[in-house]
Amino acid sequence: MNRTLLTSALALAAVTGAAQAEQVFNRIASFPVVKNMAEGEDTARETSPEIIDVTEDGMVLVYTDSPLGVLGRVDITDPAAPQPMGNIALGGEPTSVAVIGTTAFTGINTSESYVAPSGRLVAIDVNSGEELASCDLGGQPDSVAKAPDGSFIAVAIENERDEDLNDGIIPQMPAGFVVKIGLEGGTLDCDSLQRIDVTGLAEVAGDDPEPEFVDINALGEIVVTLQENNHFVVIGADGTVASHFSAGAVDLDGIDATDERGALRFTENQQGRKREPDAVKWIDDQHFATANEGDYEGGSRGWTIFSKSGEVVYDSGTSFEHALVQIGHYPDKRSDAKGVEPESVTFGEFNGTRMIFVGSERGSIVGVYDATDPANPVLTQLLPSGVGPEGYVTIPSRNLLVSANESDLIEDGGARAHVMLYAYAEGEAAYPQLTSEGMAELTGWGAISGMVAEGDSTVWAVSDSFYGYQPRIFKIDVSSKPARIVEAIDITRAGYPAQKLDLEGITLDGEGGFWLASEGRTDRVIPHALYHVNAKGEIEEEVGLPAELMAVEKRFGFEGITLVDGTLWMAVQREWADDPKGQVKLVAYTPESGEWGAVRYPLDAPTTGWVGLSEIVAQGDHVYILERDNLLGEAATTKKITRVALSQMQPAPLGGDLPLVSKEEVRDLLPDLKATGGYVLDKVEGLAIFSDGTAWVSTDNDGVDDHSGETMFFTVGQLGTGY
């Protein structure tokens, strides 16, 4: 859908308010918040959108940015093209924000130390940036919430613990509390401030409550999560405690609870796992939903709906986490702690449907639930987010959902922090594009690299070294939408999972088995090698590289493998020691004779970073090659499919002069990578081409490690001619 049509559809939906058939959320834009820095500022500094809200007219987003100490603003008059409005300096660390009209009520942490906490609640004009009022809170604020009728503000005064003291175990004084401040004439009435005591309630460190999150219902009741205390408090409209109860615990079965590097095994359990909820949101005047992120002793990997009297109306158990497993968003490095770590929850009613939105901080996914029946919410969608979604705001009047994604990976060369926008409109869900849903056994996957097509609708794929203890071949049915993994074949040696593999290429051997290319890395004792495996995944032959290649070896080796008339061809990702700058090898190996050879391929010149190869596929009279830079987002310039005529693929002996082939660009993939409204992903890794020329492309999600977890798996139609 183009931008004009999208904007028109949004406007029509907003005007009519009529429910449309098959309405879904799809991401329409991503806004890197570094754009809100002023000209001349150091954009290499960390920036992080955390808690987000919107002005009453739904046109300006306002978010807290703790590292910069500012409120950021985004103009979403055209939601498909958000524009920077700049930052407002606060003179302290913002912790949360709630907007009424065009006034942003912001908690600011001014604490000198953990034992001397302090903070302010300020009212700021969103348009001018002027501070309108300020109230001393008497402690360190965390969450801020507004009453639905705009009559008061509630603040969770956490007085957070020092996580380096006594291993972070509470109690650590001073105790936290809750503040309620009335509004007069649309601004703060500091004289009305109520300090509400919540000590002596929780079974866990009751003398040291640490209020984490607050929300207010239409009756003026405040619900408070005491995350570290594993407890809830409901405060009545009169400012006194109306009820309180434990958040309880959950028995988790069918989880991966071991942090070994690179194996997804959902066969373990955790019994009596404390929920330790973070975010909380009223869904009506009697019920609220919580995201059970966990802390030192808990985290149930899911979310819960409670009645305000303490009854568990619904608990997701492991179902939310399992849904993320199936779409490749399971963060294996968090297995022993909190798994997908649900941290955020919000609520909105869209065209008459009551919806709950649950954010996975580590899985970087927004789960959309139809909560028409609070006892039986139904997961309807999983939306891709930026890295580390922290806060959300719903804008039903404009059919919009917005996420604030706090992780800024600038130090690791990864994605910058983003705000992402989703439109609720008629159409098909654009995500996920690949899933293992429907398999008899819960099957996790990620880091898809090499691919090869077979028959009319099968793509075989491998995952790379991230899953070093569980190398696998995946059979994918591309006739389904989304494409579906229907089989996972473990690669074995003598009956045991093969190790020391970094699989980056796969091709059919013509006899029911496969040839696999492994990219070596000597400093990690991973060999550069080819592996011949049978249909069961058993390694039958291992072929190391010849001395001529090992003498000039570098870290970035084979990426892709294809078979042409009995000869295997492998693309080398980057220059090795004997390659001229800007040229890489396409290496040939003939299994029957054991002969090696190569040609050289000319790379595009990088604008910055580097350019290399990620895949090679023979089809028709050409080999097709994925060429990409190592950049993402707006910095990315080279993501393309090229081809080289087979007539040029005449390998010369290694160690001597190698012929230089010429290439032809077939498709620029940048428009495809921008099509789902996200930032451009860096690792375009997989290419498979069917006999009619129809090509499929995939991206590598790095095993959800310092990555959004997003995998794009899409067709670009028929490539070239002559099939």
List, in order, residues 6 or more apart from 69 with CB less than 8 Å away. Answer: 89, 90, 91, 92, 93, 94
Are the C-beta atoms of residues 423 and 25 closer than 8 Å to each other? yes
Half-sphere exposure of 427 (CA within 13 A, CB side): 17
Please report which helix (H) or strand (E) contains residue 16, including its range. Answer: helix 3-16
List, in order, residues 6 or more apart from 33 with CB less than 8 Å away. Answer: 47, 48, 49, 63, 65, 72, 74, 416, 417, 418, 419
Are the C-beta atoms of residues 456 and 437 closer than 8 Å to each other? no
Residues in the chain: 723
Average pLDDT over residues 614-638: 96
Note the Cα 349 to chain centre separation in Å: 25
Please report which helix (H) or strand (E) contains residue 586, including its range. Answer: strand 583-590
Phi and psi at 385, nearest 5°, equal -125, 180
Q: What's the pLDDT band for 245 if we cut at 50, 70, 90?
A: very high
Average pLDDT over residues 507-524: 95
Average pLDDT over residues 339-355: 97
List pLDDT tens digits, range 167-179: 899 999 999 999 9
List, in order, residues 6 or more apart from 497 with CB less than 8 Å away. Answer: 263, 469, 470, 471, 490, 491
- Quick one: pLDDT at residue 15? 38
570: helix, coil or strand?
strand
Average pLDDT over residues 9-27: 59
- Quick one: pLDDT at residue 525? 85
How buried is 328 (Cβ within 10 angstroms: 0-12 exposed, 13-18 middle, 19+ buried)?
Answer: buried
* DSSP-assigned letters across all residues of 173-225: SSP-EEEEEEEETTEE-GGG-EEE--TT--SSSTTS--EEEEEE-TTS-EEEE
List pLDDT tens digits, range 84-129: 999 999 999 999 999 999 999 999 999 999 999 999 999 999 999 9
- Quick one: pLDDT at residue 721? 52
List, in order, residues 6 or more apart from 23 with CB less than 8 Å away. Answer: 350, 351, 424, 425, 426, 427
Are the C-beta atoms of residues 65 and 417 closer than 8 Å to each other? no
- Quick one: pLDDT at residue 21? 65
Are the C-beta atoms of residues 392 and 386 closer than 8 Å to each other? no
Residue 12 has pLDDT above 50, yes or no: no
List pLDDT tens digits, range 526-579: 899 999 999 999 999 999 999 999 999 998 999 999 999 999 999 999 999 999
- Quick one: pLDDT at residue 513? 98
Residue 9 has pLDDT above 80, yes or no: no
Note the Cα 282 to chain centre separation in Å: 26
CA distance 287 to 299: 21
List, in order, residues 6 or more apart from 573 with CB less than 8 Å away. Answer: 519, 556, 557, 558, 559, 584, 612, 613, 614
- Quick one: pLDDT at residue 316? 98
C-alpha distance from residue 717 to each of 329, 526, 623, 643, 714 (Å) = 27, 36, 17, 16, 9
List, in order, residues 6 or more apart from 73 with CB less than 8 Å away. Answer: 36, 60, 61, 62, 84, 85, 86, 87, 88, 126
Supply angle C-alpha 490, 496, 497, rounded to 5. 45
Amino acid of residue 256 = D
Least confident range of 6-10, 304-308, 483-487? 6-10
List pLDDT tens digits, range 253-294: 999 998 776 899 999 999 999 999 999 999 999 999 999 999
C-alpha distance from residue 574 to each of 228, 555, 580, 594, 684 (Å) = 49, 9, 11, 24, 15
Are the C-beta atoms of residues 603 and 582 closer than 8 Å to each other? yes
C-alpha distance from residue 445 to each of 55, 436, 441, 701 (Å) = 40, 8, 12, 10
Residue 3 has pLDDT above 50, yes or no: no
What's the mean pLDDT when you consider all of the chain? 95
Residue 2 has pLDDT above 90, yes or no: no
The DSSP symbol for 660 reads B
Q: Which two tokens mark 77? A: 């008059």
Q: What's the pLDDT band for 522 if we cut at 50, 70, 90?
A: confident
Please report which helix (H) or strand (E) contains residue 13, including its range. Answer: helix 3-16
Percentage of the chain beyond pLDDT 90 is 92
Percentage of the chain beyond pLDDT 70 is 96
How many CB atoms sit inside 10 A of residue 452's CB? Answer: 27
Residue 598 has pLDDT above 50, yes or no: yes
- Quick one: pLDDT at residue 262? 84
Are the C-beta atoms of residues 403 and 366 closer than 8 Å to each other? yes
Residue 7 has pLDDT above 90, yes or no: no
How many CB atoms sit inside 10 A of residue 114's CB? Answer: 17
List, in order, residues 6 or more apart from 504 with CB less than 8 Å away. Answer: 449, 450, 462, 464, 517, 518, 519, 557, 558, 559, 560, 614, 685
Q: Which two tokens mark 652? A: 């010369």
List pLDDT tens digits, range 174-196: 999 999 999 999 999 999 999 99
CA distance 268 to 666: 47
C-alpha distance from residue 62 to each of 41, 95, 150 (Å) = 20, 13, 17
Please report which helix (H) or strand (E) contains residue 10, including its range. Answer: helix 3-16
Residue 371 has pLDDT above 90, yes or no: yes
Sign of the dihedral through C-alpha 161, 165, 170, 173: negative
List pLDDT tens digits, range 417-476: 999 999 999 999 999 999 999 999 999 999 999 999 999 999 999 999 999 899 999 999
